[in-house]
């Protein structure tokens, strides 16, 4: 997992894949307050974003999840939320089988669970090995405008060759 701010020009020598750079360029140039909630394609099914507005919830109401076909770039355009995280281990217990159509699997809990805050302008890049609990309230429920970019894992693998 990589966490940062989209406006931070000093990435301390970090080199991102072309697909991640493409997502960053899209995030920087787009005024998400003017877009309706929904899906917006950048490169068909290989790279796209989903815009959503919601109220954060208590941690107990937010389920840990992971994906297999896509890596996430979760970006908060407005507001802030707490995100739980842990690396995948075979000890994690699935609460529902993997849904291939929605590319999601849910887990009972994160163990051990670490937390970070995504505030306005911040992003988190998560691979299928990053189990995460998004949409958690900081102190009390609050509105968030969030963009989740999906990058096909097979595209990232192609770029590494």
Give pLDDT, residue 11.
Answer: 61
Give pLDDT, residue 119.
Answer: 97
Give pLDDT, residue 141.
Answer: 97
Give pLDDT, residue 10.
Answer: 65
Q: How much of the chain is in helix, strand and coil states, percent to nearest 5?
A: 15, 50, 35
Give pLDDT, residue 30.
Answer: 98
Boundaries of every domain in the chain: 2-7+17-160
Rounding to the nearest 10 degrees, give the CA dihedral for residues 135, 140, 144, 149: -20
CATH superfamily, region 2-7+17-160: YhcH/YjgK/YiaL (2.60.120.370)
pLDDT less than 70: residues of the chain:
10-13
Contacting residues for 104 by C-beta, under 8 A, at least 6 apart: 65, 66, 67, 98
**The pTM is what?**
0.94
Give pLDDT, residue 24.
Answer: 95
């Amino acid at each position: 997992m990589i966490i940062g701010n989209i406006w931070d020009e000093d990435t301390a020598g970090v080199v991102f894949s072309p697909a991640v750079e493409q997502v960053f360029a899209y995030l920087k140039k787009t005024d998400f307050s003017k877009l309706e909630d929904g899906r917006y394609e950048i490169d068909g099914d290989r790279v796209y974003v989903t815009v959503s507005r919601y109220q954060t919830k208590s941690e107990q109401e937010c389920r840990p999840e992971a994906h297999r076909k896509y890596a996430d770039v979760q970006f908060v355009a407005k507001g802030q939320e707490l995100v739980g995280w842990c690396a995948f281990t075979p000890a994690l217990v699935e609460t529902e089988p993997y849904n291939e159509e929605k590319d999601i699997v849910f887990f009972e809990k994160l163990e051990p669970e670490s937390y970070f805050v995504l505030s306005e302008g911040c992003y988190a890049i998560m691979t299928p090995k990053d189990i995460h609990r998004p949409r958690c309230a900081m102190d009390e429920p609050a509105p968030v405008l969030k963009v989740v970019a999906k990058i096909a894992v097979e595209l990232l693998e192609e770029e590494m060759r």
